[in-house]
A and B are shown apart, each in its own frame.
Chain A
Amino acid sequence: MSALLEIEGLQVEFGRQSPTAAVRGASFVVESGETHCLVGESGCGKSVTALSIMNLLARGARRRADKLAFKGGDLRGLSDAAMSRLRGNEMAMIFQEPMTSLNPAYTVGSQMTEVLRRHKHVNQRAATDRAADLLARVGITAPGLRLGQFPHQLSGGLRQRVMIAMALMCEPQLLIADEPTTALDVTVQAQILRLLATLQRDLGLGLLLITHDLGIVARIATRVSVMYAGEVVESAATADLFAAPKHPYTQGLLRCVPVPGKIQRDQPLGSIPGTVPRIGPGFEGCAFRDRCDFADATCAHTVPLHNAGPTHNFLCRLPA
């Protein structure tokens, strides 16, 4: 039984004159019925990774992977036409900015029904009914009214719920959510997260959630992959990651999060010294070495992949 989404050695590059490698090696697996979080700071390449799965990158981006499989089928060689038949249909994506992700010129209802009518042969009546059902499911009251409204008439939280409902129109098996709560108010964030967790459970979705917030990870993730400077540096089940992080970057990240009750009054807040390096072409070795307390000469060359358990691996010279 193959996993829902399998990625190995994903690389994404931009630009012709001086190419920038946004993703230099991402490998992880998303299973059906699990919530997999891809976490990392801004600029680490997690959004690019998400976009490259569905091949939504802008023109001029080059994607390479040793393995990029969805339900066992290879995604790499698919034409844009073939890919578009999968998008919105078997795999769906929601984005960070609900304020601008909906077309201001069309009603909510028409934007939702067009997905269903594009992929499945249903009439307008059936599509509208399903849209109303899903709006109710994501917790929107008076769905009939909302269907006829325009995006600018809805708040940010409502729009994000609409986006989620829209993504679910064709019953996809994989839902990719790129920082879905970052642009929302804190209270709304919690509601949306709860909604995603509930939907994932009820519909048996595979949910790939991109975020920079470890709090979100702790709350809903089954598995976590940590990204740094374009690479997945550690991948584990959530409990394992928080209990025993192996990669120095992950350890540093967890130290940065102040936990009420555990932190002393005069204790300085944790931080990772230095900044994320710019990775040019031909970069070798570990990107974290300049900020790492454990770095040595071998870190400038190849970095081995270690296992710290059957589902826990990390990219470091340090032993498990």
Chain B
Amino acid sequence: MLQFLVRRLIVALLVTVTVMTLAFMLTRLSGDLAISIAGPSATKADIDAVRLAYGLDRPLVVQFFDWVGHAATGDLGDSYFFKTRVSQLIGERMPVTLTLGLTGLVIALVVSLPLGILAAVRENTPFDRAVQVVALLGQAMPSFWLGLILMIVFGLQLGWLPISGADSWQSFIMPGVVLAFSAIPALTRLTRAGMIQSMGSDYIRTARAKGLSRASILLKHALRNAAIPVVAIAAVQLGFMLGGSIVIEQVFALHGVGYLAWESIQKNDFPVVQSVVLVLAVIYVALTMLADMMNAVLDPRLRGG
């Protein structure tokens, strides 16, 4: 078990370093950063001054390791635009994004798990087909469009929910629902498939032969085994939601990390952009490791006993 964790940690570190390299290269794509920072009306002297001030005259490799070294200690540099530490900026915006992501995940699970279980129990009935159709529809729905429609219906016409800002918990409902929509089809299908397979297995036949109650067979025996892949995918979906929140935050004017990244791209604020990419990647890697550990907890066979 320990060996497994150590190996995963090493892979995680390597992935992080690779992503850092890519993020670094990403921001250097447009050529000379000094020109972009100095602005359109800068003279050559201005550009040279900028280059010196931001350390952009050093070889790329040096700049890269400088960044890596600082990032390892939590220092992600300073924002060109906001004139504050990047880590502080991200720290301020992160709660909004995390709340949004978790709201989305909770809604998604609350919807997909029961739907998936019921669809599996009533396999091939009209209810099951309806659930599959709903999953299909959800998969085709463009999230930003759904967000706008919800805004019109619930925000404007019905006036139930606020359409922008992050003032109250109600502000997270509509964006949370939109995020959930992207995860519900996959989670429902997975739960359904897992339950169908679980219920067709030999140990369920044994459970029936033991005369256990229907509820016990379904929830204690079948679900426990079916949940294993679902839990793992749920963690990964949360990672995707956090990474993809940029669109939703823009639509609903939620000032989270995604919104910050969006603003920074507009303003060529490179330290922020590359740091946000890094932070999101680290979160994703951490979530997949969490998913692996939960797998081991749920499935005794993986514990190496």
Residues of A near any B CB (own CB < 8 A) = 54, 56, 80-81, 83-89, 92-93, 95, 97, 100-106, 114-115, 118-119, 149-150, 152-153, 163, 166
Chain A contacts of B202 at CB under 8 A? 95, 97, 100-101
Q: Does B305 contact A (CB under 8 A)?
A: yes
Given contacts A95-B202, A153-B305, contact A104 B209 (CB under 8 A): no
Q: Does B211 contact A (CB under 8 A)?
A: yes
19 contacts between A and B (CB under 8 A): A54-B209, A56-B205, A84-B208, A84-B213, A89-B211, A95-B205, A97-B202, A100-B203, A101-B205, A101-B206, A103-B224, A104-B203, A104-B299, A105-B225, A114-B210, A115-B210, A115-B212, A118-B211, A152-B305
Chain B contacts of A54 at CB under 8 A? 209
Given contacts A95-B202, A104-B299, A152-B305, contact A115 B208 (CB under 8 A): no
Could you list 11 further interchain pairs (A-B, Cβ under 8 angstroms) beyond the known A84-B208, A101-B202, A118-B212?
Answer: A80-B214, A85-B211, A87-B209, A89-B211, A95-B202, A101-B205, A102-B203, A104-B299, A104-B301, A105-B298, A152-B300
A119–chain B nearest beta-carbon distance, Å: 6
Chain A contacts of B35 at CB under 8 A? none
Chain B contacts of A149 at CB under 8 A? 305
Interface string of B214-248 (1 = CB under 8 A from A): 10100001001100000000000000000000000
Chain B contacts of A95 at CB under 8 A? 202, 205-206, 209
Number of interface residues of B (CB under 8 A): 22
Q: Does B207 contact A (CB under 8 A)?
A: yes
Decide: A87 and B210 in contact? CB cutoff 8 A.
yes
Decide: A84 and B205 in contact? CB cutoff 8 A.
no
Q: Does B201 contact A (CB under 8 A)?
A: yes
Decide: B203 and A101 in contact? CB cutoff 8 A.
yes
Q: Of residues A80, A85, A93, which shows the largest number of chain B Cβ atoms within 10 Å of its Cβ?
A: A93
Decide: B210 and A104 in contact? CB cutoff 8 A.
no
Decide: A166 and B299 in contact? CB cutoff 8 A.
no
Decide: B201 and A84 in contact? CB cutoff 8 A.
no
Given contacts A100-B202, A150-B305, A152-B305, contact A105 B299 (CB under 8 A): yes
A82–chain B nearest beta-carbon distance, Å: 10
The residue of chain B having its C-beta at the shortest distance from the C-beta of A90 within the complex is B211
Chain B contacts of A104 at CB under 8 A? 203, 225, 299-301
Chain A contacts of B201 at CB under 8 A? 100
| Cα distance, A56 to B217, chains bound together (Å) | 13
| Cα distance, A152 to B298, chains bound together (Å) | 14
The residue of chain B having its C-beta at the shortest distance from the C-beta of A96 within the complex is B202
B280–chain A nearest beta-carbon distance, Å: 33
| Cα distance, A89 to B209, chains bound together (Å) | 10
Residue of A87, A103, A153 near B208 (CB, 8 A) is: A87
Chain A contacts of B208 at CB under 8 A? 56, 84, 87
Chain B contacts of A115 at CB under 8 A? 210-212
Decide: A150 and B301 in contact? CB cutoff 8 A.
yes
Chain B contacts of A87 at CB under 8 A? 208-211
Closest CB pairs A-B (n = 8): A87-B211, A88-B211, A88-B210, A100-B202, A103-B203, A150-B300, A93-B209, A84-B211
Decide: A118 and B224 in contact? CB cutoff 8 A.
no
| Cα distance, A297 to B210, chains bound together (Å) | 48
| Cα distance, A92 to B207, chains bound together (Å) | 11
Chain B contacts of A102 at CB under 8 A? 203, 206
Given contacts A56-B205, A152-B301, A152-B305, contact A103 B211 (CB under 8 A): no
Decide: A118 and B203 in contact? CB cutoff 8 A.
no
Decide: B209 and A88 in contact? CB cutoff 8 A.
yes
A100–chain B nearest beta-carbon distance, Å: 4
Chain B contacts of A152 at CB under 8 A? 300-301, 305
B51–chain A nearest beta-carbon distance, Å: 61
Chain B 259-305 interface residues, beta-carbon cutoff 8 Å to A? 298-301, 305
| Cα distance, A85 to B225, chains bound together (Å) | 25
A232–chain B nearest beta-carbon distance, Å: 23
B41–chain A nearest beta-carbon distance, Å: 67
Decide: A103 and B301 in contact? CB cutoff 8 A.
no
B24–chain A nearest beta-carbon distance, Å: 44
Decide: A103 and B213 in contact? CB cutoff 8 A.
no
Chain A contacts of B298 at CB under 8 A? 105
